[in-house]
Amino acid sequence: MSSELEAVIGLEIHVQLSTRTKMFCGCELSFGDEPNVHTCPVCLAHPGVLPVPNEEAIRYALKIGMALECEIAPRSIFHRKNYFYPDNPKAYQISQYDIPLAVDGRLGDIRIHRAHLEEDAAKMIHVGDSGRIHGSGASLVDFNRGGTPLVEVVTEPDLRSAAEAAEWARLLRETVRQLDVSDVNMEEGSLRVDANVSVRPSGSEELGTKTELKNMNSFRFLERGVEAELQRQRELIEAGGTVEQETLHFDPSDGTLTSLRSKEEAHDYRYFPEPDLVPLAPTEEMLREARESLPELPAARIERYEEQMGLEAEPAKFLASDPGLGGYFEEACRVAGAEVGPGGGGVEPRVVANWITGDLTATLRQRGDEEDFADPTVSAEDLAALVLMVTEKKISHGSGKAVLAALVVEGGDPAAIVEREGLAQISDAGELESIVAAAVEANPEAAEQIKAGNQKAIGAIVGAVMKETKGRADGGEVNRLILEQLGD
């Protein structure tokens, strides 16, 4: 039954910009300082103060808008969103409403509805009773964070599973990280993801009633939260119920979803154009500057790796996730390809990719270090040389792994390691033939089984040859010789 209900998910992502100062005043941004040390009359909304926008925040927002392939509004304006809450000192948040900075973009396969600028709220900490005369408790407000520039990115409801939502959110984080406009740290709250979740009969074009999920401060929680909510909605509908529009809080400790009781009256934010701020009309120069500062972003890089370099989706994503890693991969490809030269066929990028995503990553991971591919343990040139030796059958794949292990530990020249360890492949056909013959003789049981048609038994004889040659034999060639000698 549940497979007939399709998931429809949209995300709203708040990105705290890593400018030096707040959105509308010159107070410094900080994280983890003692409360209320970064405040002034403006960000505490004293009487008579006025906001003045931070030009760097505008620049960062333009970069995000462009990276998400949005149209940049020629003239956007700020609005006031009115609501009372202690973390909202003016009792209105300066945000953008009907004319946001950026609209109609896309990242990967997911359409971006809009991206707009706004300011962050302050932080509230519930402190229980703390000696107050009345009521059941109190909260403390810390305005250090209040007024931090935010870009809110809203997707179209294009995501179709919890896993896809989490994976896309990772891509967005990586994209924003590479723009160098935010710390994008979910735990610290510099990247916050809310999800709008609904289900509908497969094939339907209509949207079901959605719920909004908040407080998923990791990608894992995002996936689990959305999954839990999808399941709840499916069960509800299958039992004949209807989904109610509400905001839900996900508790990662037990996986439960709690409805945040809506305030006693429906939200009515009474948006109107912010009279204290003039329109934002990005000049040609502002646009050009933002455009020119954009690096090649993960989505574009993945596409290039897949389409031009012939990589599978997984390694493409992996290698494109980090610009240092991507650069390393491309440099190794260039070196490996160039040395073979025209007509030599070169090394296929996917082979280089396999070495990086497989052996190199595994070896490095065993060492437990975070590898910085901008300053790698094994240089791209050395890796390329190694891959070339294997591809050209100068050494076996097994020897190649051994050389890589040595390179990771001690560095040096791969060719010299091959020389020193005597790993060069046995190229003398006569020598290899006699070693194979000896191995066949030493394993009569396996030989009989192979003759009887059990190809799996060949492993024992290959193993014996490899042991004898210390891995310097070409596996394919050994196989061929065994079968030949057994009269195939």
Partner 1 sequence: MIDREQVLHVARLARLRLSDEDVERMAGELSGVLAHVDRIGELDLDGVEPTTHVVSLENVLRPDEPRPSWPKEAMLDRAPDPADGAFRVPSPQADAQ
Partner 2 sequence: MSELLELTVAQAARGIANGEIAPDEYFEAWRMAAATDDLNAYLWRAEDGVGAEGPLAGVPVAVKDIFCTEGMPTTAGSRILEAYVPPYTSTAVRHLREAGAGVLGKTNMDEFAMGSSNENSAYGPVLNPWDRGRVPGGSSGGSAAVVAGGLAPCAIGTDTGGSIRQPASLCGIVGMKPTYGAISRYGMIAFASSLDQCGPLTRDVTDAALLLGAMEGRDPCDSTSVGIEGGVELPSREGLEGVRFAVPAELAHDAIEPGVRTVFEETLKTIERLGGEISEVPLPHAEHGISAYYVIAPAEASSNLARYDGVRYGMRVEGGGDLIEMYESTRAEGFGDEVKRRIMLGTYALSSGYYEAYYGRAQKVRTKIAADFDAAFAQFDFVVTPTSPSVAFKLGEKTDDPLAMYMNDFFTVPMPLAGIPAISIPAGLATPEGGGPRLPVGFQIAAPAFAEQRLLDAAYALEQGIGFDAKPGGDD
Q: Residue numbers of the site for partner 2 (CB under 8 A)?
A: 41, 44-53, 80, 82, 84, 86, 89-92, 133-136, 141, 264, 268, 270-272, 275-278
Question: Quick check: 346 binds partner 1 (CB under 8 A)?
Answer: no
Decide whether 21 or 354 has the Cβ nearer to partner 1: 21
Question: Quick check: 217 binds partner 1 (CB under 8 A)?
Answer: no
Nearest-approach distance from CB 285 to partner 1, in angstroms: 11
Q: DSSP states of 325-372 as a string?
A: HHHHHHHHHHHHHHHH-TTS----HHHHHHIIIIIIHHHHHHHTPPP-
Decide whether 134 or 456 has the Cβ nearer to partner 2: 134
Reduced to 3 states, what is the DSSP secondary structure of residue 462? Answer: helix
Burial of 460 (0-12, 13-18, 19+ CB in 10 A): middle
Question: Quick check: 392 binds partner 1 (CB under 8 A)?
Answer: no
Q: DSSP states of 271-334 as a string?
A: -EE-TTS--B---HHHHHHHHHTPPPPHHHHHHHHHHTT---HHHHHHHHTSHHHHHHHHHHHH
CA distance 435 to 433: 5
> What residue 239 binds from partner 1, partner 2, none (CB within 5 to 8 A, per partner kind)?
none
Question: Quick check: 39 binds partner 1 (CB under 8 A)?
Answer: yes
Decide whether 51 or 400 has the Cβ nearer to partner 1: 51
Q: From residue 71 to residue 110, what is the string marking binding to partner 1 with x (rule CB under 8 A)?
A: ----x-x-----xxxxxx----------------------
> What residue 80 binds from partner 1, partner 2, none (CB within 5 to 8 A, per partner kind)?
partner 2
CA distance 412 to 400: 14
Token representation of residue 394: 């100068």
Token representation of residue 62: 């333009």
Decide whether 92 or 329 has the Cβ nearer to partner 2: 92
Report the sign of the C-alpha dihedral through residues 215, 218, 224, 229, in that order.
positive
> What residue 90 binds from partner 1, partner 2, none (CB within 5 to 8 A, per partner kind)?
partner 2
CA distance 291 to 67: 9
Neighbours of 93 (CB within 10 A): 21
The strand pair at 247-251 and 211-214 is best described as: parallel
Place of tokens 């209509």: 206
Residue of 475, 461, 460, 384 whose CA lies nearest to 425: 475
> What residue 424 binds from partner 2, partner 1, none (CB within 5 to 8 A, per partner kind)?
none
CA distance 69 to 115: 11
By CB under 8 A, name the one of 2, 137, 163, 369 that touches partner 1.
137
Quote the DSSP letter at residue 21.
Answer: B
* Site residues (CB under 8 A) for partner 1, limited to 223-282: 249, 260-265, 268, 270, 273, 275, 277-282
By CB under 8 A, name the one of 1, 3, 32, 34 that touches partner 1.
34
Place of tokens 């059941």: 136
Question: Quick check: 19 binds partner 1 (CB under 8 A)?
Answer: yes
Question: Quick check: 117 binds partner 1 (CB under 8 A)?
Answer: no
Question: Quick check: 461 binds partner 1 (CB under 8 A)?
Answer: no
Q: From residue 151 to residue 170, what is the string marking binding to partner 1 with x (rule CB under 8 A)?
A: --------------------
> What residue 475 binds from partner 2, partner 1, none (CB within 5 to 8 A, per partner kind)?
none
> What residue 77 binds from partner 2, partner 1, none (CB within 5 to 8 A, per partner kind)?
partner 1
Question: Quick check: 37 binds partner 1 (CB under 8 A)?
Answer: yes
Length of the chain: 488
Decide whether 271 or 351 has the Cβ nearer to partner 2: 271
Nearest-approach distance from CB 47 to partner 2, in angstroms: 4
Torsion of CA 317, 319, 325, 327, to 10 degrees: -100
Quote the DSSP letter at residue 47.
Answer: T
Q: Find the helix or strand (DSSP H, E) in which 167 lies.
A: helix 162-179
User: Residue 314 contacts by C-beta under 8 Å, 6 or more apart in sequence?
Assistant: 357
Nearest-approach distance from CB 198 to partner 2, in angstroms: 23
Nearest-approach distance from CB 303 to partner 1, in angstroms: 33
CA distance 455 to 429: 23
Token representation of residue 338: 């160039």
Decide whether 20 or 291 has the Cβ nearer to partner 1: 20
Nearest-approach distance from CB 28 to partner 2, in angstroms: 18
Decide whether 138 or 424 has the Cβ nearer to partner 2: 138
> What residue 48 binds from partner 1, partner 2, none (CB within 5 to 8 A, per partner kind)?
partner 2
Please give the residue ranges that form the binding site for partner 1 (CB under 8 A). Answer: 19-21, 26-28, 34-41, 44, 52-58, 75, 77, 83-88, 121, 125-127, 130, 132, 134-143, 249, 260-265, 268, 270, 273, 275, 277-283, 286
